Structure 1
Amino acid sequence: MDRIIQHWKNNEDLQDLTHATAHLIHGSSEGRFKITYAPKYLTKEEVESVHYQYLDYNKALQLYPIDKLKNGFNRLENGEEIYFISTPSAGLWTTQEKLNH
């Protein structure tokens, strides 16, 4: 968060988009966990350029069967534990609340 605020202070283009800066803060793991995006219409380079992990969309659907996941923590057949958010725009607040307590 401190790094994003510093960028905001030093870049006029971010100051014109304060709401975008707030979204960057809310979407940051601050190094506590990794965030992987599997977008259908963005490239790997675009996703990784903003320091998120990339996963191919079709591969993600195979690995993470969204029709079988529940909101919250899930343990997959391979043993991986994930936190699933079906509605990221609303679910992010819930996730941060649970992880901070």
Structure 2
Amino acid sequence: MKEILQESNYSHYDIAEQVMLRNIIRETRRLDTREADFVNNGDSIDFVIYNKQDKKCTLIIEVDGFEYHENNPEQLKRDAVKNSIPDKYAIHLLRLATNGREK
């Protein structure tokens, strides 16, 4: 990813790993109670692509361990809640499975 971001078309972006969701979503008025709890209780994002100039988040990337996520109904519920948050703030989310499939 870092190599791609060095290309001239993407050089105004950078990447950060393990970013707390509350550092991306600072106001939670758009969220329901469960979503706000995700933001306020220390949930993190695997990777964030952001604009270097204004630090605005452009893309969230979540990488899911296939076995853990596919065989864990509670985790699938958590993922669904986490998926709904960026949408409410017009932030793109890309969720990838470690088996190479986009989810």
Alignment TM-score > 0.5, same fold: no
When the two structures are superposed, what TM-score results if normalisation uses the length of structure 1? 0.29
More helix by share: 1
Q: Could you say which structure has the higher strand fraction? A: 2
| Structure with more contact order per residue of length (Cα contacts < 8 Å, sep ≥ 6) | 2
Look at both structures and tell me which one has the larger radius of gyration over its CA atoms: 1
